[in-house]
Amino acid sequence: MERLLRIDRRIIFAFVAVAVIVSLLLEFRLPVPATPPVENIFSKIESLPQGAHLLLAFDYDPSSKEELQPMAIALLHHCYQKNLRVIGMTLWPGGTGLAEQAVTQVASQYGKKNGEDYVFLGYKPGVASLIINMGEDLYTAFPKDFYGNDTSTLPALKGVESLKDIDYVIDLAAGATIETWIAFGKEKYRFEMGAGCTAVIGPDLYPFLDSRQINGLMAGLKGAAEYESLVGRKAQATEGMRPQSVTHVLVIVFILFSNAVFILSGGLRTVRRGK
Amino acid sequence: MRLPLLLLSTLLTVLSCNPCNHGALAQGLELILPEGFKAFDTPNDSGETISLTWKVSPSESTDIDYIIYLSPSTDGPWQEAVRFRSDTHYKSDAPELFGFRKKLRNSHFLRIEPRRYFPGKENKKAVYYFKLAMARGEEVVPQGEVVSARAKGNWFDLSKLNNLIIMVSFSGIVLFFIAHARRFPHLFVRRISGLDAVDEALGRATEMGRPALFVHGLTGMGSISTMAAVNILGRIARKVAEYDTILKVVNNDPIVLSVSQEVVKESYLEAGRPDAYNQDNVVLVASEQFPYVVAVGGIMTRERTAANFFVGFFYAESLILAETGAATGAIQVAATDSYTQLPFFITTCDYTLMGEELYAASAYLSREPMLLGSLRAQDLGKAIIILVLFFGTILASFGIEFITQVFRAF
Amino acid sequence: MRKDRDFWILVGTLALFGAVNISFFLVGRLQVNWEDFGIVLAAGITLTMYSFLYKDNPAFKIAENMYVGVALGYTVIITWFNALKPDLYDPLLVPLFTWERTPEYLLFAPMVLGVFMLMRLSTRLAWLSRWPFAFVVGLGAGITIPNYIHTFVLKQIEPSLRPVFSGGETVYMSINTLLILLGVISVLIYFFFSTEHKGPIGVVSKIGIWFLMVSFGASFGYTVMGRMSLLIGRTMFLLKDWLGVVQ
Amino acid sequence: MTFLKRGVPLGIAFLMGVLMAFQYYVPHEHSKAFLELMTRWDKIIAGFAVFIGAYSLFHLHYTRIKRRAAGWGYSFFVFVGAFVTIAFGLYNGGEAFWHDKKEGTMFDWIYMNIQVPAGATIFSILAFFMASAAYRTFRARTVESTVLLVAAIIVMLGRVPVGALISQYIPVAADWIMGVPNLAAKRGILLGVSLGAIATSIKIIFGVERQYLGGGD
């Protein structure tokens, strides 16, 4: 019995790989209903008038790409459909290329022009200082956009002097940037803010949801899938929900099975005695 | 646009000639016009806005609007600045300016940023003039008074007074307790049960005659977690020297390496066993995350360590480290303030010091006044928060909102 | 013997990877251009990383070290083009030498401090780097105190300072409000070190542990979810962009 | 010298800390202009820090190579990766680095096809280890870890579509766990951590905490 618990971990690895590949190859539909925190972000964007300014901070790097890039793309589709002026930026140097790719590729699908319909500001160091600088004056914080254009000449930024004039800010975060955006941006310059994050930090953000410091939250690929279903554009995240379900069940089965074996073979007693 | 304005201003001049227009029934509309229209610089701001207040009028309703007219001079031209429903915008909407009294519903309040209406002409010292009118649909009845104010920057934001008091008093508390801990280094810190687990694990390693392994987190010497880890390492090394077992220490940063070597050496010296210290047991095994995991895992399986200690700040590698350790059957104790990794340590280790317990353990062991004092100060801060939450909620539930209002942040 | 087997596994995998790609190029699934060549490279790197699952191996180590280097290089270059160039070089240094417009002299201060920071790399002048560090750390500390009090203390206790039951809520909501209050207080008491956890304090701190455990359970579940999502993303890349078996 | 090495930095930290802390309570435009200038400077100085980071990484790997530490050969690849990337970045598609960044250069290609797949894959390896740990190590040894695992299972099921198919109450239970006990514990942790951060800031300003000075006199 106990030998069952000592199998080579590579056998378990193989189980996981097969589960993911097979559930990607097989097509079956699973409903992905949106939860209120995700819906709040969607309806906030729905409520914005054409030409409103939305700042999207891509605060992640390639290691969280598979969770946050689908989220960014779903959001951008929604923004461009609603003809919002998107301002993209990042606090993580490693995320610059991914952010630029997302902003421009989705823009080209809607025929949006750089500088007129959207802006990509790129990366700046400083984190909290940068956010405060943007809150006081966007143009001293970012004198040039990512492509070297003078930001004060860009039509897409017309009517924006600082963060106070931004209608909605969304931070897509793989680290502690949401907290930083709240403390030094949202609370200081009073704008509406929503957030998307990797699943790992998702549970940590519930206090801010409750205190209304963020109006909505998308956590992980699941959050992205919910947003995709709200926008009505099923893509990578929705596809991913099939293997996601299967692997969760697999992990749960592993935990239950091994604990059952552990208890049946008297493992609990040994542990208690060992203490 | 010009014509209605012109008409309006003539109308206004006519009305202002009439001394008894206040509260009078205006032509066409039977409206009681509001009184006490005032303009003043908004307190607590940087000099961007002017505040307008006036008393509630009995004829307000959902289909009646208020209109504010704005001009850079007494005699126009007047510009319609804002129009809003007459049963909105009360003084009670701005408790940061007027407080929480109930009767604030008797006055209207509007904050206006006049410079927005005159783009290009940004004279910061300009005086602006305001007029008020009531309107139902297209019909507009002016109130008559012209009031004026100049927006100026303020030097103190009174609405943040509670924040300032908290900052000053908490600073005082922190500095006081640090000074206090200097004089009384035996400040009480509760027993951290995780430290007993450390002794137990070391005892078992000695019994089995196998080495103990101390694994540092991935952060450098600048982080509080690593400093706490070094303090705990000192204690473990002393016990190890007393028990006469072997202690292996692994890390990934050259500065942490040299500090750890120093600490272990000193502990052996203190225990009177300087001969037992072997520098090769404190090693930098790898610099990057995954090679670190592989190297540490290699040591665990090769040397069959009987006790593993994971202390410091860990990232995703925590899971693989602790899992490998658990598979070798070692007793494991973790101490980390990286909350995202705690679940994995809790399920794979025999004992886990969670979050701030790491700092407390470090203060407890090192007896450093700075750590002890600030631990005590933070405890006091927590105690105050607990009391505020407890009594605040009880009182608020009985309709007494005093505490809620005092701690309200604007 | 074992070494030998690993060697042949490596050769076999490489041969298979090569054969798959060559056939893709031959049948025209992949074109001979930088973009498709990039897909092959990315697939190769992805598989190399996964080779770690079989066993730690040189290919994995090379890939990881190379990745660390590339990531660093990328950060350096992006910092130059996105930060130092537009913030310092263009507004201060260029005009200083060309006089096309007036230089922003105020930027001298951060430039000097920045250069001082680099002195950390020298042995004799390393002390100069303490000045910019003191500036950065002092500024950070200064902005942290009031903003944290506002955002993470006052704003966080505000939702709990509401009436538990004022008539508008359902019983269910009131119970939850009370539970949240109990949870916050008991967790704070668990992390309270100035008294022994005995008597009523001990009971409350025990409740705190339970709250912590449930919340760590939630984090646990979410972390599993996140890691699986990463794997799913990479598998999709391999199956879709490289092999083309999923549309 | 001690004054320059110790007094000046402690003075700078104190002055900056006090000015920035009190600036918060002063809404006047001069105060705001000061805040803007200081944060702008800080942002620029932070840009220099990347070189410190680069140096310490290079130094680490250089030492490994010099000392022939175990696996030192792999450290060469850190240099290869960094120098190739930096070289292409400076070359900037033929425009040289003092011009604006060109798009679609070899530098971007390296990023997209080396850094992105490598970075994205490396943490996905954890997915496998998660499953293996679930099987081999995650044990309900104590009441506490049992509670943890049960909560984890409910959340894991409740967050994927399958959960709702098993029982309609699972997503509701998962939402409750996230929104009540999880929220409460995380808020408690947040309050404690924030007090810690505030206390550390106070210690820095008053020169009690001097770790940032580095070693030496």
Tokens of B50: 């002017």
The mean pLDDT value for A92-114 works out to 95
What pLDDT is stored for residue B11 in this prediction?
A: 45
Q: From the list C83, C229, C245, which residue is nearest A240 (CB)?
A: C229
Note the maximum CA span of chain D: 73
Sign of CA dihedral B396, B401, B402, B404: positive
Does one domain contain both C213 and C198? yes
Report the chain B residue with the minimal C-alpha distance to residue C49.
Answer: B290
What pLDDT is stored for residue D169 in this prediction?
A: 93
- Number of structural domains found in chain C: 3
Spatial CA neighbour of C222 closest among D157, D172, A30 = D157
In Å, what is the CA distance from B104 to each residue of A98, B44, B404?
52, 19, 18
Q: Indicate the pairing of strand B107-112 with strand B50-55.
A: antiparallel
Q: Which fold does the domain B193-366 belong to in CATH?
A: Rossmann fold (3.40.50)
What pLDDT is stored for residue A274 in this prediction?
A: 37
A97 near C CB under 8 A: yes
What pLDDT is stored for residue B375 in this prediction?
A: 95
Q: From the list D32, D156, D178, which residue is nearest A136 (CB)?
A: D32
Backbone angles phi, psi at D73, to 5 degrees: -60, -35
With a CB cutoff of 8 Å and minimum separation 6, the contacts of D3 are: none
Query: What are the pLDDT tens digits along chain B (410 aa)?
Result: 444 444 444 444 444 444 444 444 444 557 888 989 999 999 999 888 999 999 999 888 888 999 999 998 888 789 899 999 999 999 999 998 998 888 888 999 999 998 888 877 667 778 999 999 999 888 888 888 899 999 899 999 999 999 999 999 999 999 999 999 999 988 899 888 888 899 999 999 999 999 999 999 998 887 889 999 999 999 999 999 988 889 999 998 888 898 999 999 999 999 888 888 988 899 888 877 888 888 899 899 888 999 999 999 999 899 999 999 988 889 999 999 999 999 999 999 999 999 999 999 999 988 899 999 999 999 999 999 999 999 999 999 888 888 999 999 98
Spatial CA neighbour of A251 closest among A15, A5, A9 = A15
The mean pLDDT value for A161-165 works out to 94
Does one domain contain both C177 and C229? yes
What pLDDT is stored for residue B369 in this prediction?
A: 92
- Number of structural domains found in chain D: 3
Interchain pair D191, B382: CB under 8 A: yes
Residue where the block lists tokens 């004092």:
B373
Q: Is the pLDDT of residue C145 over 60?
A: yes
Q: Indicate the pairing of strand A168-173 with strand B107-112.
A: unpaired
Tokens of B132: 């008020």
What pLDDT is stored for residue B122 in this prediction?
A: 66
B175 near C CB under 8 A: no
D171 lies in a domain? yes
Tokens of B199: 């002794």
**Nearest CA-CA distance, residue C46 and chain D, Å:** 6
Tokens of B284: 């930098």
Instruction: Measure CA D121 to chain center.
Output: 19
Angle at which helices A220-231 and C199-236 pack, to 10 degrees? 60
Q: Which residues of B touch D130 (CB under 8 A)?
A: 319
Interchain pair D17, C139: CB under 8 A: yes
**Nearest CA-CA distance, residue D15 and chain C, Å:** 8
Residue where the block lists tokens 């670190």:
B292
Report the chain B residue with the minimal C-alpha distance to residue D144.
Answer: B346
Sign of CA dihedral B32, B36, B39, B42: negative
Interchain pair C197, B397: CB under 8 A: no
Helices (H), A167-235: 177-181, 187-189, 206-210, 220-231
Does one domain contain both D116 and D164? no
Residues in chain C: 247
What pLDDT is stored for residue B276 in this prediction?
A: 87
Q: Is the pLDDT of residue C142 over 60?
A: yes
Backbone angles phi, psi at B94, to 5 degrees: -125, 65
What pLDDT is stored for residue B14 in this prediction?
A: 42
A17 near D CB under 8 A: yes
Q: Is residue C6 very low, low, confident or very high in pLDDT (cuts 50, 70, 90)?
A: confident
Domain ranges of chain B: 2-150, 158-184+372-406, 193-366
Mean pLDDT value across chain D: 92
Cβ density class B335-347: b for 16+ within 10 Å, e for less:
bbbbbbbbbbbbb
CB contacts under 8 A, A 66-105 vs D, are 66, 93-94, 97-98, 101
d(CA C15, CA C37): 17
With a CB cutoff of 8 Å and minimum separation 6, the contacts of B266 are: B234
Interchain pair B403, C65: CB under 8 A: no
What pLDDT is stored for residue B311 in this prediction?
A: 95
Per mean pLDDT, which range of A130-139, B130-139, D150-159 is the poorest?
B130-139
**Nearest CA-CA distance, residue B314 and chain D, Å:** 14
What pLDDT is stored for residue C166 in this prediction?
A: 66
Interchain pair A255, D116: CB under 8 A: no
Residue where the block lists tokens 């860990």:
B314
The terminus-to-terminus CA distance of chain D in angstroms comes to 10
Select from C39, C62, C95 the last residue of a domain. Answer: C95
| DSSP code, position D42 | H
Q: Is residue D216 very low, low, confident or very high in pLDDT (cuts 50, 70, 90)?
A: low
Spatial CA neighbour of A126 closest among A140, A112, A114, A145 = A140
Q: Quick check: helix, strand or coil at residue B335?
A: strand
Q: Higher pLDDT residue, A66 or D68?
A: A66
| DSSP code, position C84 | I
* 3-state SS track over B197-259: HHHHHHHHHHHHCCCEEEEECCCCCCCHHHHHHHHHHHHHHHHHHHHCCCEEEEECCHHHHHH
Cα three-residue angle B249-B252-B257, rounded to 5 degrees: 55
HSE-CB at B15 with a 13 A cutoff on CA atoms is 24
Q: Which fold does the domain B2-150 belong to in CATH?
A: Immunoglobulin-like (2.60.40)
H/E segment holding residue A21: helix A9-25
Q: Is the pLDDT of residue A90 over 90?
A: yes
Chains that touch B (3 or more CB pairs under 8 A): A, C, D
**Nearest CA-CA distance, residue C5 and chain A, Å:** 17
d(CA B16, CA B307): 91
**Nearest CA-CA distance, residue C108 and chain A, Å:** 15
Backbone angles phi, psi at B138, to 5 degrees: -85, -20
Residue C82 and residue A146 in contact, taking contact as beta carbons nearer than 8 Å: yes
d(CA D35, CA D19): 9
B163 near C CB under 8 A: yes
Does one domain contain both D96 and D150? no
Cβ density class B390-401: b for 16+ within 10 Å, e for less:
eebbebbbeeeb
Select from D102, D137, D172 the last residue of a domain. Answer: D137
Spatial CA neighbour of D200 closest among B163, C188, B171, C155 = B171
Residue where the block lists tokens 């979410």:
C222
Select from D114, D137, D160 the last residue of a domain. Answer: D137
Interchain pair A245, D162: CB under 8 A: yes
d(CA B258, CA D215): 12
C-alpha torsion angle, residues A105, A107, A111, A116 (rounded to 10): -130
What pLDDT is stored for residue B18 in this prediction?
A: 43
Residues in chain A: 275
B379 near C CB under 8 A: yes
Tell me whether residue D80 is exposed, middle or buried, using C-beta atoms within 10 angstroms of its C-beta: 0 to 12, 13 to 18, 19 or more.
middle
Sign of CA dihedral C63, C68, C72, C78: positive
Residue where the block lists tokens 């530490």:
D69
What pLDDT is stored for residue C180 in this prediction?
A: 95
Residue where the block lists tokens 């990877």:
C17
**Nearest CA-CA distance, residue D6 and chain A, Å:** 25
d(CA C221, CA B343): 9
Does one domain contain both C154 and C171? no
Interchain pair C42, D114: CB under 8 A: yes
Backbone angles phi, psi at B131, to 5 degrees: -135, 155
Optimal mutation site among A132, A144, A208, A236, interface D, most CBs of chain D within 10 A: A132
What pLDDT is stored for residue A7 in this prediction?
A: 84
Cα three-residue angle B276-B227-D133, rounded to 5 degrees: 85
Q: Higher pLDDT residue, D214 or B317?
A: B317
Select from C161, C187, C209 the last residue of a domain. Answer: C161
Optimal mutation site among D14, D61, D208, interface B, most CBs of chain B within 10 A: D208
- Residue C44 one-letter amino acid: G
d(CA B322, CA B313): 14
Angle at which helices B369-397 and C171-190 pack, to 10 degrees? 160
H/E segment holding residue C29: none
* Structural domain of C70: 2-95
Backbone angles phi, psi at C67, to 5 degrees: -60, -40
Q: Is residue A1 very low, low, confident or very high in pLDDT (cuts 50, 70, 90)?
A: low
Q: Which residues of A touch D117 (CB under 8 A)?
A: 62
Q: Which residues of D touch C180 (CB under 8 A)?
A: 180, 183-184, 187
Helices (H), chain C: 2-27, 34-54, 58-79, 94-98, 108-118, 130-148, 155-157, 171-190, 199-236
Interchain pair D203, B374: CB under 8 A: yes
Cβ contacts below 8 Å, chain A against chain C, sum to 146
Does one domain contain both D78 and D113? yes
Does one domain contain both D125 and D113? yes
* Structural domain of D195: 139-207
What pLDDT is stored for residue A79 in this prediction?
A: 96
D155 lies in a domain? yes
Tokens of B153: 């920057």
Q: From the list C53, C179, C188, which residue is nearest D125 (CB)?
A: C53
What pLDDT is stored for residue D215 in this prediction?
A: 59
Strand partners for B149: B128
What confidence tens digit (pLDDT) does each residue in B57-116 have? 988 888 899 999 999 888 878 989 999 999 999 999 999 899 888 888 899 999 999 888
d(CA C80, CA A101): 20
